[in-house]
Amino acid sequence: MQNKLLKPKRWIKKTWKFLERENLIRPLLIIIILIIIISPIILLVESKYNTQGTIKSLEDGVWWTITTITTVGYGDFYPKSIPGRLIATIVMLVGISVLTIINASVASILVQKKLKEDLGMCSYNLEKHIIICEWNYRSKQIIQELRKHSKTKKVPIVLIADIERKPIDDDNLYFIKGSVDDETLHKARLEKAKTVIILGDDKLDYINRDAKVILSTLTVESINKKAYTIVELLNETHTATCKRAYADEIIVSSNLNCNLIVSAAINHGISNVVSDILNYGDGSQLYKIPVPKDEINRCFMDVFIRMKQNNQSIVIAVQQGKEGKVISNPPSDYKLKYNDYLIVIANHNQSYFSRLKV
C-alpha cells in the first residue's frame, strides 16, 4: 500500500521539478487563477446585466473561461452584456499572452530534446534492444542490413560512439556520445539489452584496436552477462583472450575477408553466392529455425530431403540448443533432438521461414 502511494508522490515531485526547470509554473498558475476568479465574476455580471444570457451556472462560467483563455471559443456560452464583453476581451488578451509563453516554452523544450538526442547527451529506457559500440563504415552497413530484416526492421538500436552527432536519420536509432564505459552503457540501458555488437576502432592500430574491443567486452559482460555479445577482432591471436572475456560470438574480420578472396580465386564466382546469402534483400537468405515437431528424432538426411521438397530450402547446419554448438553439414544419420535448430538457406520471401525464424 505504501509503495502504491509513493509512485504518485514521485510523479508529482518529478513533474513539479520539470515545470520549475522550464519556467512553466508562473504561466500555468496565471491560467488557474484566471479560471478561479473569472468564472464566478462572469456568472455574476451576466446574471445582473443580462438575465436572458447563456451563462447561467458556475459550471457554464468555468467552461466559458477555459474556452476563452485557450482561444477555442465554441460559442455555446458567451456574454451578451457590455461589462461581460469587456471581461471577455481582457480574458482573451491575457489568455493569448500566456499561451504564447507556454507554446514558446514547449517548442524550446522539444528543440532542446531533439538537439540533445542528436548530440548524444540523453539516456534511454529501452528493452530487448541492440547496442552497437563504435562508428565506422561497417556500423552503417550493419544498421542498414538490420533494417532490411523483418525481425529487426523496427527494433531499437543504440549507437555508442565518440563522434559529434547522430550519423543516420533513423527514428529507432538512439545515439550516445562517448567511449564504451559504465556510464554510457547505463545510459544505453545495457541491463535490458538483447544483443551487443562491439566493433573495432579504425583510428587505432590493430593491437590497440583489439585491446579496446576486449576491454569493452569485459565491461559489457560485467554489467549484463545475459546479453548476446558479438565481437569483431582484427587479429586471430586475440581470440582466446576475447573468449576469456566471455564474448558469445567472435568474428575475425581479416580472416573472413582473406578466406573469401582465396575461395574466389580458387572457385570463381563463389563470393557472389556468399553475398547473395548474407545480404538481406532479393535472393536467398540464411534462416535459423527450431526443428519442426514432426521431424524430432528423425535422421538428418530425411529432414534434408523433406525440407527441400516441401519448402524449397536447403539445410546446411544444425545448432544444438539456441546458442549451442553448430554442426555444419551433419552426418546423414544424425538424429535431430527437441532443442536443435536448423540453419537453412531459403528464398527471402517465404512466409514459412518468416514465421519460424528465431
Q: Is the pLDDT of residue 4 over 80?
A: no
For residues 104 and 102, give the distance between their C-alpha atoms in angstroms, rounded to a whole number: 5
The answer on pLDDT for 352 being more than 60 is no
Query: Looking at per-residue confidence, does 51 or 342 come out higher?
Result: 342
Exposed e or buried b for every residue in 120-147, given b needs 16+ CB within 10 A?
beeeeebeebbbbbbbbebbeebbeebb
Helix (H, G, I), strand (E, B) or coil at 67: helix
Residue ranges of the alpha helices (H) in 119-154?
137-148
Fold of the domain built from segment(s) 19-117 = Helix Hairpins (1.10.287)
**Which cell is 65 given?**
473561461
**pLDDT the model gives residue 328:** 93
Range with the largest mean pLDDT of 107-111, 120-124, 157-161: 157-161
∠ CA 29-35-38 to the nearest 5 degrees?
A: 125
pLDDT of res. 168: 92
Look over the chain and give the mean of its residue pLDDT values, rounded to a whole number. Answer: 87
Report the pLDDT value the prediction gives residue 351, as an integer from 0 to 100. 54
Decide if pLDDT at 76 tops 90.
Answer: no
CATH classification (class only), 130-257 = alpha beta
Q: For the chain, what is the largest distance between any 2 Cα atoms, rounded to a whole number of angstroms?
A: 101
Strands 173-177 and 157-161: parallel
Report pLDDT digits (tens) over 243-265.
999 999 999 988 888 888 888 88
Span 29-42, mean pLDDT?
Answer: 90
What's the pLDDT score for residue 144? 92
Name residue 345's beta-bridge partners: 286, 314
Find cell 499572452 and name the residue: 97
CATH number, domain 282-356: 3.30.70.1450
**How far is residue 164 from each of residues 106, 126, 161, 216, 300, measured CA to CA in Å?**
26, 23, 9, 21, 52
Q: Is the pLDDT score of 323 beyond 60? A: yes
3-state secondary structure of 230: strand
| The pLDDT of residue 282 is above 80 | no
Q: Report DSSP state, residue 267.
A: S
Quick one: pLDDT at residue 276?
82
Q: Which pLDDT belongs to residue 315?
A: 94
Map out the domains of the chain as residue ranges. Answer: 19-117, 130-257, 282-356
Check whether 195 has a pLDDT greater than 90.
yes
Specify the pLDDT at position 80.
80
Q: Is the pLDDT of residue 354 over 70?
A: no
pLDDT digits (tens, 9 = 90+) for 146-170: 998 878 999 999 999 999 999 999 9
State the average pLDDT over residues 56-77. Answer: 81
Would the pLDDT of 105 be above 70?
Answer: yes
> What pLDDT is recorded for position 133?
97
Q: What percent of the chain has pLDDT over 70?
A: 93
pLDDT at residue number 5? 54
pLDDT at 356: 54
